[in-house]
Amino acid sequence: MNIRGFQKFTLVDFPGRMACVVFVGECNFRCGYCHNPCLVFDPESQPLISEDEIVSFLEKRKGKLDGVVVSGGEPSLRDGLEEFMLKIKRLGFLVKLDTNGSNPERVITAIRDGLIDALGIDYKAPSYKYNEIANCCAKDLSSKVRSIIKYAVDNDIFIDVRTTVHQRLLSRGDLTEMRTELSALGLREWTLQQFNPVEIIDDELLAAGTYSDTELVEIASSLPDTRVRGLSGIFID
Ligand code: SF4
């Protein structure tokens, strides 16, 4: 699975659950605001963590944690993802998969096989600029991402759809269009995430101005069922 990071506890990454987070290396996107560039470009720079270590940790956390978030990087690129999630499920934990949505067939099959209880997915841009913002030339990318969201909505699978917002990448008009696209899929709640000015892929975003929390909240309040998650991971209004 190429596990290159492990967070033993989180209250914000698996909504309503106490969880830990497993981070896998490598990604097929190059989002400018990605704050895990070492996982994307150089996962080998981080210590390799074995699945046995995770399993051993979970055995000691039965009854204390509810679930495991499998995140990245992009987990759906990894061999052995399904086997790893099955191990987690057999230990009695819920699984939330964080995915960039580029691999809908694999993710939907895993849901059908009962390996995934919840999804986290970044909806990165309106369809007309999806490839540009993801820095990925994959064909039909926005359609692929939307197909996972639609599947989750239609099948009542919990899905946390969020968008990292930087003013240089997404205008107010872009955000309005994204809300329209998500509503067309039947999605209600959508979260705008504040840009996190840490070590990222595109340094120019650090120097460029972006929306303040107040501006983001004002944008969200002009759109249906849209809220803002601040840098602490807590919703703000
Ligand atoms: S999809 Fe996620 S992990 Fe991949 S480059 Fe974008 S923000 Fe980083």
Q: Are 129 and 171 in contact (CB under 8 A)?
A: no
- Residue 73 corresponds to which tokens in the numbers above? 């990087």
What pLDDT does 233 receive? 83
Question: Tokens 């120097």 belong to which residue?
Answer: 207
Instruction: Of 188, 181, 191, 34, give the one whose Cα is nearest residue 121.
Output: 191
Query: Quick one: what percent of the chain has pLDDT higher than 70?
Result: 100
Whether the CB-CB separation of 69 and 96 falls below 8 Å is answered with yes
The answer, yes or no, to whether residue 105 has pLDDT greater than 90, is yes
Q: Can you give the pLDDT at residue 232?
A: 86
pLDDT score of 113 more than 90: yes
Q: Rounded to an integer, what distance in angstroms lies between the CA atom of residue 67 and that of residue 57?
A: 12
Ligand 1 within 6 A of CB of 100 = yes
pTM: 0.96
| Ligand 1 contact, 34 CB (< 6 A) | yes
Q: Does residue 105 contact residue 79 with C-beta atoms inside 8 Å?
A: no
pLDDT attached to residue 192: 98
Phi, psi of 154 (to 5 degrees): -65, -25
Shortest-distance atom of ligand 1 to CA 37: 8
Which residue among 28, 36, 160 is best mutated to probe the pocket of ligand 1, counting the most ligand atoms within 8 A of its Cβ?
36
Rounded average pLDDT over 161-187 = 98
Q: What is the per-residue pLDDT for 42?
A: 93
Helix H or strand E encompassing 173: helix 172-184
Q: How confident is the model at residue 234 (pLDDT cuts 50, 70, 90)?
A: confident
- Looking at residue 162, its pLDDT comes to 97
Confidence band (pLDDT; 50, 70, 90) for 50?
A: very high
